[in-house]
Amino acid sequence: MNKPALLVIDMQNGLNEVFNFPDLVNKVNQKIDSYHQENLPVIFMQHTDSELPYGSDDWQIVSALHRSKSDRVFLKYHSDSFYETGLESYLHHQNIGTLDVCGLQTEYCIDTAIRVGHDRGFKVITTSGLNSTFDTDDLTAKQIIKHHEAIWDGSFAEVNPGIKLS
């Protein structure tokens, strides 16, 4: 049970003003394309809440992403991609043991997916810069991304070199 799957989290219209979004979409598409070429699973997590209401334009997955009809989409209502979504059962049923995580937002849903995935026994990998977030009052998005990637690497995930943050 070590087949990999790409987990694309919350790449939705309502979050398209995060740091480095156009480049993030391009790089996520490169990942999606490589998984499709290898006939490996691509899974989209789609967040639903008051800011991303079900069925709204903001809720829609970004149309520029290279989605295939064979890709799975799971709805989620919390930061945790595993909580009441059916994701874990699907992963086990498909003999998936490695999660390649990318998407939004670094300090919320990406961080949670990486830590919970690790704690549930999955090998977790990610590529540096294939996650993003917004600036806050205290930290820039770049600082948040670098901080989280440093914590994940070696403790919760294997962080592979990728996008150099400008």
pLDDT for 63-81, tens place per residue? Answer: 999 999 999 999 999 999 9
Whether the pLDDT of residue 48 is over 50: the answer is yes
Whether the pLDDT of residue 23 is over 80: the answer is yes
CB distance 76 to 47 below 8 Å: yes
* Cα four-point dihedral sign 139, 107, 151, 157: negative
Whether the pLDDT of residue 162 is over 80: the answer is no
Separation between Cα atoms, residue 107 and residue 141, nearest integer Å: 10
String of DSSP letters for 25-76: HHHHHHHHHHHHHTT--EEEEEE-SSSS-TTSTTTSBPTTS---TTSEEEEE
Whether the pLDDT of residue 39 is over 50: the answer is yes
- Residue 2: predicted pLDDT: 83
The set of residues, in sequence order, having a beta carbon less than 8 Å from that of 121 and lying 6+ positions away, is: none
- Residue 65: predicted pLDDT: 99
Whether the pLDDT of residue 33 is over 90: the answer is yes
Separation between Cα atoms, residue 89 and residue 138, nearest integer Å: 38
String of DSSP letters for 91-158: HHHTTEEEEEEEEE-IIIIIHHHHHHHHHTT-EEEEEEEEEE----SS--HHHHHHHHHHHHBTTTBE
**pLDDT (mean) for 155-159:** 97
CB distance 149 to 159 below 8 Å: yes
- Residue 163: predicted pLDDT: 57
The pLDDT mean for the chain works out to: 96
Whether the pLDDT of residue 47 is over 50: the answer is yes
- Residue 1: predicted pLDDT: 59
What are the extents of the domains in the chain? 3-160
* Cα four-point dihedral sign 160, 161, 162, 163: positive
What pLDDT digit, counting tens, does each position of 99-148 carry?
999 999 999 999 999 999 999 999 999 999 999 999 999 999 999 999 99
Choosing among 3.40.50.850, 3.30.1540.10, 3.30.465.10, 3.40.250.10, the CATH entry for 3-160 is 3.40.50.850
- Residue 166: predicted pLDDT: 45
